[in-house]
Every structure is written in structure tokens, then in C-alpha cells.
């Protein structure tokens, strides 16, 4: 089976969700959904030995061959790792949701349709080698996450958070598409693998930096980097299974994946290194500092996710420095990309478990407000244990996997100040300082989340529900992730050799040809060194800040809310879009169809006429013109007289008759030009139109007086003349010059041999323009249904029977 098809398995399964939900009420729909990620995990697991040995796999399904667009699934160390995270964490999230979402109260088929749609989209993102299909899946993640975040659509905050996330990520995706197009123009291909092979030549192109910036904007918006992170906290209005899936292991990692995948192309640029590492470090600082301000459990985790994503992003940026260091395989810069991937795995384990614990606390107590929580340690001992493991790992405490990748992070940041190119020897000293300060706040918000929730005094009077331990089914998934946190600490090299090294090989092909060349060994103890001293400082100062939290937490009130990035977003959406744009639209959206047509015709005429003269496309030649006969002149005069009569008639019946005369005269021209089909069609249309006008004569609006009809005659005359001139110029130009060969000869030669028809007009409409005709019929059908609906609505308002 083609590996591309596995990407679409969740989408195909989504088609059956309504059936399972409606027909099998006795079983939670999630049990059927669980089969999908489990099967996919089993499938991708079979690739682990081969890819760990340095192999890669390609599957292709043609999509639009004429444009060279195909679904190309490229499985290497990087895409396999993400695929396993998407399906593995997905399976745990589905299992968790079975016990979290009540099948009798929730529209589960909607939830699982959106979830499966998102799973397919993420698999497509991380496996696509063709940039157009990557963009397609990229935007599908935005749409499906919008649906998941707004799942509880009856809540204002859910709708607001869903819209905010889609507005920011879709905008970034469109900019990213621009970068893809520029890259394809530079390299002559949309294949990422082929572009990586052309990386040195691409770097010399004038549009290289522009493509770089546009692609990074797409990555930064999706992975919640500063200043685009503001959508992520509002997305916490989604159900907790969504938060655990989208915002710990999948969607927010899409931007991380994009940076990692395109690093071999852009690593040669100092702009790439500075932007990725600098924005990542700023995001790390910003997110960790403001996480301590939050009082909602999921908000704390949202800002912690922002900070952790910044950490991974900064490591990818620093890892690109290895491209510029001679003998980089022997320097500490090789640790940066390795630490980024290692921490990405660690983050998925501890953050996924913490999100699930936040959901459990909310589910069992009725609140996520940390000010109302406390003293749950003895009541919810299993949940506390899992939270403790996840929290300690996030804080970087020994015996938990987060400690290992955090130490490697500090090692990479310390090395930056030794790099002498691109002014890193001057400004690089700030990297370890900011990394250390951010790590302190990471320690604080980790302890803040765990101990403010589970230790201290129980506040039963402030809890909506009597707290109790969650059912075992809800604890299985976070418990599995918590076990992985500890297991990875004790056998890190098994994990890194299997998953991290193949991914690093894909990120740094300029250093390694296969995973066996990545000679990094992970260990918890490296002796007394600078990193150890920094870690001790983090623990000491972090504990001091945690225990004095009440005294200094008031510092957050210094930051005025009106100057926040969220206020800027609200201003853009509410003031610019809703208010100003609403006022602007009301100025021309008057409800007058005549005005709307005037706007459209004027704009269209100006664009066409302007283009004709600017491009010097207006050419007039009468060399092949047919002779004009007397009877044709008579018809032209009749046409002009009928048109003028229609406009200036003082009686509606006269206007209707004159309009019919114009139509019948046009049909005579079709007869003269040997187009009987068109003539018959015109005659039928004119007959029906005149009949309809006469039938509706009584119900037509009151006929305007002469002075009212001429009030805007100059404006109407301008529009009419402009459209007439446009049509005339286009007709003359198209007749006078043939820029491309006429397709008429092809129709005449193939109408009988290929299409098997004798009537060329019918064959063109049915065969050659079959889709066009189909769409026209579809439009007519939709219009008919709309008219039928309006008639029924009008009858209902008048008290008629439906």
C-alpha cells in the first residue's frame, strides 16, 4: 500500500463518524476512533529500524500532473519522528477523551471528525516533499484547529479563541506560501529535497532573504513565537484533549518542523541564524516570565508552551551556526540541533501529561482557577504524582528527562559567545544570560503549577464540585506519558539513537551523511562545569522566587493591559475591521443594485481599457473584415433605435416592447452569421423575458417620473459609454491580432473523430466544456433552491401554509 494513502486514513475514517455516533449509541464513539491512531502507530513503527540505519522512503500519488503537483510522502528521520508523535500522542489523547467527554451530552461525531481531520493534516505537513501540498495541509491544520478550538461554539470565548488562532495562523500561512513560490522560482522546483541540493546556488539569489523571511513568518505564527504567540492562550478555551494534542505535541510543533526542515536551505544565512535564535530566545524569556502571572491552570501551561517552543526554536537557530564552523562536528554547536529534537520529544511527554492533569483537576473540582485550588495532594494522589513528574521534568530537575535536554540547551547557549562571525562574539554573551534567566522562571512556573494546585490547604467552599480522584480510564494516558518521562532519563541513548540522531541527520546534512556519524552520547553527569553551576543557580533562585511569590508577583500589575499585544489585536479586529471597515462598506453598500452594477462596470471598464493601452495591446486592422451589406446597416439602425427607445420611453409597456425588439434584432444577426443555435436560444430567451415582464407587469415598481429618471443621467451615460468603448476595443483588438493560435481548427478537426458528435456547438458545450456546463447547471440549481426558499419564507411571514 502506498505510504501516501496512510496520510488520508484519518480523513477517510472521519466519514464514518456520524454513522457510529447515531447508530451505535451504547458505545462511546472514541473507541472506534482509537483504532485509527493505533493502526498508524503500528505502521510507522515498522520504519524505525530502516530509518535509524539511514534509509529514507518516498511514496507518490499524482494529483495535478499538468502542473507538476503530486502528493509526495517523504519519510526520513525528521518526518518519521513527527509522524510517531502525531499518531502516538493522538492515540493517548483519544483514549483520554473517551473518559473526559460525556457521550450523552457532547456532539462526539463533530469532535472526532475535527480531530481526525487535524491528524491527517499534520501527517501531510510533516511528510510532504512538495511545497504546494505542504501548504495545502498546513492551512488544513488551521481550519481543523479552528473547529476544534471552537468546538463549544455556544461559548463566546471559544469562538473568539478559534477566530483569533485562525486569523493569525492563516495569515502566516499565506506569507509562507509566498516564500514557497519564491523558492520554486529560484530553484525551478517545488521539491524540498531538490531545493536542499541547490542550497549553495539559492543563497546567491537576490530574493533568497525575502523567501527566508516569508517562510519564517509562517513558522513563527504557527509555533506561537513572539509577537504572534497571543493566539495560543486564547486557544485554551478548547476541550482539554484538544489542548493536550494541538498545543503540546502537534500543531504548535508544525512551525518547529518547518524551521528544522528548511534549515539545510537557509543555514548559510546570518539572517536565518539571528532571526530563529533571537526570536526563539525572546519568546522563551517572554513566555516564562508571564506564565507566573496566570491564574488559570491551562493559561499557565499555554504560556509555558510558548516558552518551551521558544527554547526549541532558539536551539535550531544556534544549530545553524554549525554550517559556518570549520570542523563543526567536533564543536559544541552540533549539540544544538540534537538538543532541539531531544527536547521536542521530552516536551511532548511532560506537557501532554500536564495538560491532561489540568483537565482532570477541572473535571473533578469544577474549576481551573489556581487561587481556588490547593490541598488536593491527599485527595488526588495519583494525579499529584503525575503532575509532580511532569512539573519536575519541565523545571529541569534531575531524574526526569527535561533535565537532560535542558543541560544540553545551556551548553549550546554558552557556546554562542565564542562564535566570532556575524557579531556573535559581541552580542552572543546575552544568549546564556537570557537562557539562564528564562530557565529560572521556568522553574518557578513549574513549581507554581504543581504545588499551588496540590499542596497547601483545601478550599472546599470555593470548589463547585467535591474533589475526588479521577477514574482510572482518565489517568491511563497521562500516566503512560509520566512513565516515559522517567524511562527516557534512565535510557536516553536508546531514544536518541533510535529517533533523535536520524532526525538530526535530516536537519544537518552538511555535517552528517547518516545517523551513525552523530557521535553524541547523552549522560546526566558531566562533572563540575559551568552548566552544573548554572543549574544550581536556577534551583536556588527559583526556589527563592517561588517561596516569595506573593511579595513580587504584584510586579505584573505594572504592565498596563492597554499596551499589550492582545489590545493591539483587538484594535485591529474591532476598530479597523469592524468599525472603520463597517463605516466604509456602509458608504457604498446602499442596497441599490443600480449603484453596485455601476461600480462593477466602471471598475471593469477602467481596468480593461487601461490594460489595453498600458500594454500597447490595442490594435485595429480591417484586412480580414467581411463586407457590410445594406440589410446589416438596416439592422444596426433598428438596434440603435430600439436601445434608445428602451432608455427614453415614457411608458413601461413601450420600454418592454423596445427591449424585446433589441433582442429579436440581435437574433437576426445570429441568423445572418450562420449561428442558428444561438439565434434559437436568443429568440427563446427574448420571448420568455418579454412574457415574464408582461406577467409581472402589475407587480413592477412604480414607473419613475421623467425628472427622476434623468437625475443621474451623466453618471449613467459615463458608465454606459465606458462599457461600450471597452467591448468595442476588446472586440477590435481580439479580431485584429492573434497572439495565440485559434482553437477553432482543433474543434473542427476533432469534433467527430474524438467526441463522436456531428453538431460542433453541442459537442463543445457537452464534451469540451463539460465542466463549465456542469457548473452553470449547478449555479442554476442553487439559484432555484434559493428562490424556492425565499418564496417559502415570504409565505411563512404572511401566515401562508408551508
The confidence score (pLDDT) of residue 124 equals 95
The arithmetic mean of pLDDT across residues 34-59, rounded, is 95
Q: And the C-alpha cell for 328? A: 563543526
Report how far residue 505's alpha carbon sits from residue 322's, in angstroms, rounded to the nearest whole number.
13
The confidence score (pLDDT) of residue 564 equals 77
The confidence score (pLDDT) of residue 796 equals 64
Strands 57-64, 69-75: pairing is antiparallel
Long-range contacts of 544-553, Cβ-Cβ distance < 8 Å, separation of 24 or more: 545/440, 545/441, 545/444, 546/443, 546/444, 546/447, 546/448, 546/451, 549/292, 549/444, 549/448, 553/292, 553/293
735 and 786, same domain (yes or no): no
711 and 767, same domain (yes or no): no
pTM: 0.81
Last residue of a domain, one of 739, 768, 792: 739
The arithmetic mean of pLDDT across residues 399-423, rounded, is 88
454 and 522, same domain (yes or no): yes
pLDDT at 703 over 70: no
Non-local CB neighbours of 791 within 8 Å, separated by 6+ positions = none
The arithmetic mean of pLDDT across residues 348-374, rounded, is 93
Q: Does a structural domain hold residue 406?
A: yes
pLDDT at 52 over 90: yes
Judge residue 250's burial from the number of C-beta atoms within 10 Å of its C-beta, 0-12 exposed, 13-18 middle, 19 or more buried: buried
pLDDT grade for 246, boundaries at 50, 70 and 90: confident
pLDDT at 440 over 60: yes
Please report, for residues 413, 432, 454, the alpha-carbon distance to residue 278 in angstroms, rounded to integers and kept in the order given. Answer: 11, 12, 36
The confidence score (pLDDT) of residue 729 equals 87
The confidence score (pLDDT) of residue 802 equals 44
With contact defined as beta carbons under 8 Å apart, do 30 and 20 qualify? no
Question: DSSP letters of 676-745?
Answer: HHHHHHHHHHHHHHHHHHHHTGGGSPPPPPHHHHTTTHHHHHHHHHHHHHHHHHHHHHHHH--SS--SHH
Q: Does a structural domain hold residue 236?
A: no
pLDDT at 711 over 80: no
The arithmetic mean of pLDDT across residues 341-352, rounded, is 95
Q: Does a structural domain hold residue 795?
A: yes
pLDDT at 420 over 80: no
- Name the helix (H) or strand (E) containing 174: helix 156-187
Last residue of a domain, one of 739, 768, 789: 739
Report how far residue 224's alpha carbon sits from residue 370's, in angstroms, rounded to the nearest whole number.
24
Q: Does a structural domain hold residue 174?
A: no
720 and 763, same domain (yes or no): no
The arithmetic mean of pLDDT across residues 136-154, rounded, is 93
The arithmetic mean of pLDDT across residues 304-312, rounded, is 95
With contact defined as beta carbons under 8 Å apart, do 10 and 33 qualify? no
- Residue 128 carries which DSSP code? B
Report how far residue 535's alpha carbon sits from residue 538's, in angstroms, rounded to the nearest whole number.
5
The confidence score (pLDDT) of residue 799 equals 54
Query: How do the residues of the chain divide into helix, strand and coil, expressed in percent and rounded to 5?
Result: 75, 0, 25
Report how far residue 556's alpha carbon sits from residue 427's, in angstroms, rounded to the nearest whole number.
28
**Residues present in the chain in total:** 802
pLDDT at 261 over 70: yes
As a whole number of Å, the end-to-end CA separation of the chain is: 53
With contact defined as beta carbons under 8 Å apart, do 445 and 287 qualify? no
Among 44-53, 221-230, 316-325, the minimum mean pLDDT is found in 316-325
The confidence score (pLDDT) of residue 465 equals 87
The confidence score (pLDDT) of residue 702 equals 66
The arithmetic mean of pLDDT across residues 544-570, rounded, is 83
- Name the helix (H) or strand (E) containing 62: strand 57-64
348 and 394, same domain (yes or no): yes
The confidence score (pLDDT) of residue 795 equals 66
Last residue of a domain, one of 739, 765, 781: 739
676 and 640, same domain (yes or no): yes
Q: What count of Cα atoms within 13 Å lies in the side-chain half-sphere of residue 382? A: 16
Q: How many C-beta atoms surround the C-beta of residue 670 within 10 A? A: 17
The confidence score (pLDDT) of residue 801 equals 47
330 and 427, same domain (yes or no): yes
Q: What percent of the chain has pLDDT over 70?
A: 95
Q: Does a structural domain hold residue 260?
A: no
Among 8-22, 178-192, 370-384, 731-745, the minimum mean pLDDT is found in 731-745
CA geometry: angle at 698 spanning 692 and 703, to 5°? 100
The arithmetic mean of pLDDT across residues 627-654, rounded, is 85
Q: Does a structural domain hold residue 485?
A: yes
- Please choose, from the candidates 139, 168, 328, the residue with its C-alpha nearest in 3D space to the C-alpha of residue 235: 168
pLDDT at 258 over 90: yes
Structural domain containing residue 764: 749-802
pLDDT at 709 over 60: no
Q: Does a structural domain hold residue 244?
A: no
With contact defined as beta carbons under 8 Å apart, do 212 and 273 qualify? no
Please report, for residues 19, 107, 627, the alpha-carbon distance to residue 104 in angstroms, rounded to integers and kept in the order given. Answer: 16, 8, 79
The confidence score (pLDDT) of residue 119 equals 95
- Total domain count, the chain: 3
- Residue 561 carries which DSSP code? G
- pLDDT tens-digit readout, 443-502: 999 999 999 999 989 988 888 888 999 999 999 999 999 999 999 999 999 999 999 999
pLDDT grade for 328, boundaries at 50, 70 and 90: very low
pLDDT at 6 over 60: yes
Q: How many C-beta atoms surround the C-beta of residue 664 within 10 A? A: 18
pLDDT at 706 over 60: no
The arithmetic mean of pLDDT across residues 73-101, rounded, is 95
387 and 535, same domain (yes or no): yes
The dihedrals phi and psi of 254, each to the nearest 5 degrees, come to: -60, -40
- pLDDT tens-digit readout, 91-113: 999 999 999 988 777 788 889 99
pLDDT grade for 266, boundaries at 50, 70 and 90: very high
Report how far residue 292's alpha carbon sits from residue 304's, in angstroms, rounded to the nearest whole number.
9
Judge residue 507's burial from the number of C-beta atoms within 10 Å of its C-beta, 0-12 exposed, 13-18 middle, 19 or more buried: buried
Report how far residue 632's alpha carbon sits from residue 626's, in angstroms, rounded to the nearest whole number.
12
Q: What percent of the chain has pLDDT over 90?
A: 53
The confidence score (pLDDT) of residue 496 equals 93
Q: Does a structural domain hold residue 29?
A: no
The dihedrals phi and psi of 675, each to the nearest 5 degrees, come to: -125, 70
CA dihedral over 235, 236, 241, 244, signed as positive or negative: positive
538 and 651, same domain (yes or no): no
The arithmetic mean of pLDDT across residues 629-652, rounded, is 86
3-state secondary structure of 657: helix
Question: DSSP letters of 698-715?
Answer: GGSPPPPPHHHHTTTHHH
Report how far residue 1's alpha carbon sits from residue 44's, in angstroms, rounded to the nearest whole number.
13
Q: And the C-alpha cell for 518? A: 552523530
709 and 767, same domain (yes or no): no
The arithmetic mean of pLDDT across residues 283-294, rounded, is 94
In the block, cell 511579595 appears at 551
455 and 510, same domain (yes or no): yes
The arithmetic mean of pLDDT across residues 235-254, rounded, is 87
The confidence score (pLDDT) of residue 701 equals 67
670 and 646, same domain (yes or no): yes
- Please choose, from the candidates 149, 554, 165, 517, the residue with its C-alpha nearest in 3D space to the C-alpha of residue 334: 517
Amino acid at each position: 500500500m502506498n505510504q501516501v494513502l496512510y496520510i488520508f486514513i484519518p480523513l477517510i475514517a472521519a466519514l464514518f463518524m456520524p454513522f457510529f455516533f447515531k447508530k451505535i449509541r451504547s458505545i462511546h464513539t472514541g473507541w472506534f476512533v482509537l483504532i485509527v491512531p493505533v493502526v498508524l502507530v503500528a505502521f510507522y513503527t515498522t520504519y524505525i529500524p530502516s530509518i535509524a540505519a539511514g534509509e529514507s522512503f518516498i511514496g507518490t500519488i499524482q494529483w495535478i500532473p499538468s502542473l507538476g503537483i503530486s502528493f509526495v510522502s517523504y519519510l526520513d528521520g525528521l518526518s518519521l519522528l513527527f509522524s510517531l508523535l502525531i499518531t502516538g500522542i493522538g492515540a493517548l489523547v483519544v483514549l483520554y477523551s473517551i473518559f473526559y467527554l460525556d457521550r450523552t451530552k457532547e456532539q462526539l461525531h463533530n469532535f472526532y471528525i475535527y480531530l481526525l481531520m487535524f491528524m491527517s493534516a499534520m501527517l501531510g505537513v510533516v511528510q510532504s516533499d512538495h511545497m504546494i501540498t505542504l501548504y495545502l495541509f498546513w492551512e488544513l491544520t488551521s481550519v481543523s484547529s479552528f473547529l476544534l478550538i471552537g468546538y463549544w461554539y455556544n461559548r463566546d470565548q471559544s469562538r473568539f479563541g478559534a477566530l483569533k488562532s485562525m486569523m493569525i495562523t492563516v495569515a502566516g500561512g499565506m506569507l509562507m506560501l509566498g516564500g514557497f513560490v519564491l523558492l520554486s522560482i529560484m530553484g525551478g522546483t517545488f521539491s524540498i529535497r531538490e531545493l536542499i541540493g541547490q542550497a549553495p546556488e539559492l543563497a546567491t539569489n537576490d530574493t533568497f532573504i525575502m523567501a527566508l523571511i516569508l517562510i519564517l513568518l509562517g513558522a513563527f505564527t504557527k509555533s506561537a513565537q513572539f509577537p504572534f504567540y497571543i493566539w495560543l492562550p486564547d486557544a485554551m478555551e478548547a476541550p482539554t484533549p484538544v489542548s493536550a494534542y494541538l498545543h503540546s505535541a502537534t500543531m504548535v510543533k508544525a512551525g518547529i518542523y518547518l524551521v528544522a526542515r528548511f534549515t539545510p536551505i537557509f543555514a548559510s544565512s546570518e539572517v536565518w541564524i539571528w532571526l530563529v535564535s533571537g526570536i526563539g530566545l525572546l519568546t522563551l524569556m517572554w513566555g516564562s516570565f508571564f506564565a507566573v502571572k496566570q491564574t488559570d491552570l491551562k493559561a499557565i501551561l499555554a504560556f509555558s508552551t510558548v516558552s518551551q517552543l521558544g527554547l526549541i526554536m532558539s536551539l535550531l537557530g544556534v544549530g545553524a551556526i554549525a554550517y559556518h564552523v570549520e570542523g563543526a562536528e567536533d564543536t559544541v554547536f552540533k549539540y544544538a540541533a540534537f538538543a532541539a529534537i531531544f527536547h521536542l520529544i521530552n516536551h511532548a511527554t511532560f506537557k501532554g501529561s500536564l495538560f491532561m492533569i489540568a483537565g482532570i483537576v477541572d473535571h473533578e473540582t469544577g474549576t481551573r482557577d489556581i487561587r481556588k485550588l490547593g490541598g488536593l495532594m491527599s485527595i488526588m494522589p495519583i494525579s499529584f504524582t503525575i503532575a509532580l513528574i511532569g512539573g519536575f521534568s519541565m523545571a529541569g530537575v534531575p531524574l526526569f528527562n527535561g533535565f537532560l535536554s535542558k543541560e544540553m540547551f545551556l551548553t549550546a547557549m554558552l557556546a554562542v559567545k565564542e562564535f566570532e562571525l556575524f557579531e556573535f562574539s559581541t552580542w552572543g554573551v546575552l544568549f546564556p544570560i537570557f537562557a539562564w534567566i528564562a530557565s529560572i522562571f521556568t522553574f518557578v512556573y513549574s513549581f507554581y503549577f504543581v504545588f499551588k494546585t496540590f499542596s497547601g490547604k483545601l478550599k472546599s467552599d470555593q470548589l463547585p464540585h467535591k474533589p475526588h480522584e479521577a477514574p482510572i480510564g482518565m489517568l491511563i494516558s497521562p500516566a503512560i506519558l509520566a512513565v516515559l518521562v522517567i524511562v527516557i532519563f534512565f535510557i536516553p541513548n536508546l531514544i536518541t539513537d533510535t529517533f533523535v540522531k536520524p532526525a538530526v541527520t535530516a536537519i544537518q546534512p552538511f555535517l552528517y551523511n547518516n545517523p551513525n556519524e552523530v557521535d553524541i552520547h547523552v549522560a546526566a553527569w558531566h562533572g563540575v562545569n559551568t552548566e552544573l553551576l548554572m543549574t544550581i543557580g536556577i534551583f536556588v533562585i527559583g526556589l527563592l522566587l517561588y517561596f516569595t511569590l506573593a511579595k513580587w508577583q504584584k510586579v505584573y500589575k505594572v504592565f498596563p493591559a492597554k499596551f499589550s499585544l492582545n489590545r493591539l489585536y483587538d484594535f485591529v479586529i474591532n476598530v479597523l475591521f469592524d468599525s472603520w471597515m463597517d463605516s466604509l462598506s456602509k458608504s457604498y453598500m446602499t442596497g441599490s443594485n443600480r449603484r453596485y452594477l455601476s461600480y462593477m462596470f466602471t471598475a471593469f471598464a477602467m481596468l480593461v481599457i487601461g490594460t489595453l493601452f498600458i500594454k500597447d495591446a490595442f490594435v485595429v486592422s480591417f484586412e480580414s473584415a467581411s463586407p457590410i451589406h445594406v440589410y446589416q446597416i438596416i439592422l444596426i439602425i433598428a438596434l440603435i433605435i430600439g436601445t434608445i427607445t428602451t432608455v427614453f420611453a415614457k411608458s413601461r409597456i413601450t420600454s418592454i416592447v423596445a427591449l424585446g425588439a433589441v433582442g429579436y434584432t440581435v437574433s437576426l444577426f445570429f441568423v445572418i452569421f450562420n449561428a442558428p443555435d444561438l439565434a434559437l436560444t436568443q429568440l427563446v430567451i427574448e420571448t420568455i423575458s418579454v412574457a415574464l415582464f408582461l406577467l409581472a407587469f402589475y407587480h413592477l415598481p412604480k414607473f419613475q417620473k421623467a425628472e427622476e429618471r434623468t437625475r443621474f443621467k451623466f453618471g449613467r451615460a459615463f458608465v454606459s459609454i465606458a462599457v461600450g468603448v471597452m467591448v468595442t476595443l476588446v472586440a477590435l483588438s481580439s479580431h485584429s491580432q492573434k497572439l495565440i493560435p485559434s482553437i477553432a481548427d482543433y474543434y473542427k478537426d476533432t469534433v467527430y473523430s474524438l467526441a463522436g458528435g456531428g453538431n460542433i456547438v453541442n459537442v463543445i458545450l457537452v464534451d469540451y466544456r463539460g465542466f463549465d456546463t456542469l457548473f452553470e447547471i449547478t449555479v442554476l440549481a442553487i439559484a432555484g433552491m434559493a428562490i424556492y426558499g425565499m418564496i417559502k419564507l415570504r409565505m411563512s411571514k404572511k401566515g401562508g401554509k408551508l
